[in-house]
A = this chain, B = another copy of it.
Amino acid sequence: MKLITAVIKPFKLDEVKDALKAAGIAGMTVGEVRGFGRQGGHTETYRGAEYQIDFVPKVVLEAVVDDSQADLVVDTIAKSAATGKIGDGKIWVTDVERIIRIRTGEEGTDAV
């Protein structure tokens, strides 16, 4: 099993989710995060004081999938999350040794 982690632009989440659904991915977990990267941040002004805000809001998406599906999932996310503008984010893949569905105790492919 593989864990696919993708950091994407927040307003792209719905599109990515729909694309993954269409690609047959049944489950995923997402969280709100802040990213630091080439995109750079922005300045905010409070009573004349300017703050450099380095972090931009991002969404992180995690999905555990069968080895066989990993490439498809990566491609699907890459395609649906892209705007072509800086800050689109990253996808990375790590190996998962074991996965279990809490409700049933099923493991492996049956669990995702």
Contacts and interface: CB of A to CB of B under 8 A. Distances in A.
A98 B71 CA distance: 10
Interface string A1-13: 1110011100000
A22 to B, nearest CB: 13
Copy number of this protein in the oligomer? 3
A92 B27 CA distance: 13
A99 interface: yes
Given A27-B36, A38-B26, A88 B102 contact: yes
Contacts of A38: 26-27
Contacts of A92: 1, 3, 64, 96-100
Chain A to chain B: the 4 pairs with minimum beta-carbon distance, closest first: A27-B37, A88-B103, A88-B102, A31-B33
Interface of A: 1-3, 6-8, 17, 26-38, 54-55, 58, 60, 64, 74, 77-78, 81-103, 105, 111-112
